[in-house]
Amino acid sequence: MLDAALLKRALQVPMALEDGEEFTDVVTDSRAIVPGCLFVALKGEKFDGHRFVAQALEDGARAAVVSEVPEGVAADRCVVVPDTLTAYQQIASRYRLDKKGLTVIAITGSNGKTSTKDCIAAVLGERYRVIKTQANFNNEIGLPKTLLTIREDTEMAVVEMGMRGLGQIRAMKHIAYPDAAVITNVGDTHLELLGSLENIAKAKSEILEDFTPKNHAFLNGDDPRVSVMETGAAVHTYGIDSDADVKAVEISADGLRTVFTYRSRITGATQKVQLPLIGRHNVMNALAAVAVGEVYGVPDAAIARGLENLKMTGMRQEILHFGPVTVINDAYNASPASMEAALRTLGDVVKSQGKGRAIAVLADMLELGAHSQSGHAQVGTWCSQYGVTELVCYGPESRFMAEAAQKAGVPVHYAQDRGEAARVLARLVRPDDVVLLKGSHGMEVFKLIDEVFRKGDAAC
């Protein structure tokens, strides 16, 4: 129950609210007010929730958390705190800690957090009542938002933790107090902000701090920077190439599915899984879920069933069909590692269907800093390695990708912007083609779905 008594324990500030007053929800968006909720007036560089406190209370909010009482607002309906974001986090943390018997699984890593979260939630859902991070709400605002969706009957919470600098994972760990952690990998995402892969590894490993043998750490055994991370937790590894605790021993493509068999030292089981996703990287994500499921008592047959019925968060390898054309919408974000995985998957799909061309539509990978030129050039080389038939790319950094791909013999169509890329793609695509869409979220590659395929401009 979220009530005034919890608020007092969490915030430790004077307030006029009576202990018995309950809140139906905690809301930070004034457009989403529900009767009886608590409105938290967050403040940022381009917004200030204090402007909407009066309207929120008028619309039915029971009280508001503010850093100062806005003019014309009843002071007894306001809880004044030094910083409203910190207060939001404190409320969520206290709410989580009050849920006795709840287990929190936290996931971090450079790539694959959201897909791994979906896999783990699907597996645990075979035995437990589970909530998970929605979309990619994995920052200092999104994490509290997720924790506050925990209900009285919730048994497992699966949460993502993203970061853009040292210390941020540590801070989020002290909000969620996870019982277990999963680290998917260490890659070049946010390289511009942290300067080196060693710093990225250091930032990710913060999630393992202060763990004891009562906790569990699930580590990617195939990643040399992850597999050696030190922790006081009980460690369980998963992988394909390494001698991991949970290891995939047979992997094959079956249309738009991947069939694999894993062997486990955790339970001693050997289990076949039909994963409704394509690509080796998704097998790795699934293996993390297998390890988590086994440690928390989900039977191996139920683990396989959960993975076979998996529903993914949008724009993560979303397979779409427009007549005879297949589109792989993997356009939520991009780094060199995830670009390579997506290109490998594109080649696998074309090979599996036995006809058509592999068309890659790629845009800039942001936040690579000094490594941007080499990172984009590497992707261009991979286009040749993984059998891309036609490359369409746009963005200032993608010119390095275009140059490398062209040098490697791939036909390249470099566009000045997304609009030009849409026109090129519409002319280029033919029946049976498989089209990969990928780039950093800010490049809005996903909009090509509406601009080319749903609009009906494609020649197919």
Is residue 187 within 8 Å of 200, Cβ to Cβ?
yes
Element (H, E) at 304: helix 300-308
* CA dist list (Å): 432 to 350, 410, 460: 9, 19, 9
End-to-end distance of the chain based on CA atoms, in angstroms?
A: 55
* CA dist list (Å): 309 to 131, 428, 446: 17, 35, 25
Non-local (6+) Cβ contacts of 456 within 8 A are none
Which residue positions form the known binding site?
109-115
Which residue positions form the known binding site for ATP?
109-115
Domains of the chain: 4-82 (3.40.1390.10), 99-309 (3.40.1190.10), 318-453 (3.90.190.20)
Order of strands, sheet of 390-394, starting from the edge strand that comes earlier in the sequence: 318-322, 325-329, 434-438, 358-363, 390-394, 412-415
Tell me which amino acid residue 159 is: V
* CA dist list (Å): 27 to 35, 95, 311, 434: 11, 14, 27, 42
| Separation between Cα atoms, residue 158 and residue 103, nearest integer Å | 9
Element (H, E) at 392: strand 390-394
| Separation between Cα atoms, residue 345 and residue 207, nearest integer Å | 30
Q: Which long-range contacts (CB under 8 A, 24 or more apart) does 453-458 make?
A: 453/320, 453/322, 453/325, 453/327, 454/322, 457/422, 457/423, 457/426, 458/322, 458/325, 458/425, 458/426, 458/429
* CA dist list (Å): 17 to 3, 75, 79, 109, 180: 9, 11, 8, 41, 36
pLDDT in tens, the chain (460 residues): 799 999 999 999 999 999 889 999 999 999 999 999 999 999 988 899 999 999 999 999 999 999 999 999 999 999 999 999 999 999 999 999 999 999 999 999 998 899 999 999 999 999 999 999 987 788 999 999 999 999 999 999 999 999 888 999 999 999 999 999 999 999 877 677 787 889 999 999 999 999 999 999 999 999 999 999 999 999 999 999 999 999 999 999 887 889 999 999 999 999 999 999 888 899 999 999 999 999 999 999 999 999 999 988 765 678 899 999 999 999 888 889 889 989 999 998 998 888 999 999 999 998 888 889 999 999 999 999 999 999 999 999 999 999 999 999 999 999 999 999 999 999 999 999 999 999 998 999 999 999 999 875 554 5
Q: Chain centroid to CA 44: how far?
A: 23
| Separation between Cα atoms, residue 318 and residue 327, nearest integer Å | 8
Q: What is this structure's pTM?
A: 0.82
| Separation between Cα atoms, residue 440 and residue 397, nearest integer Å | 12
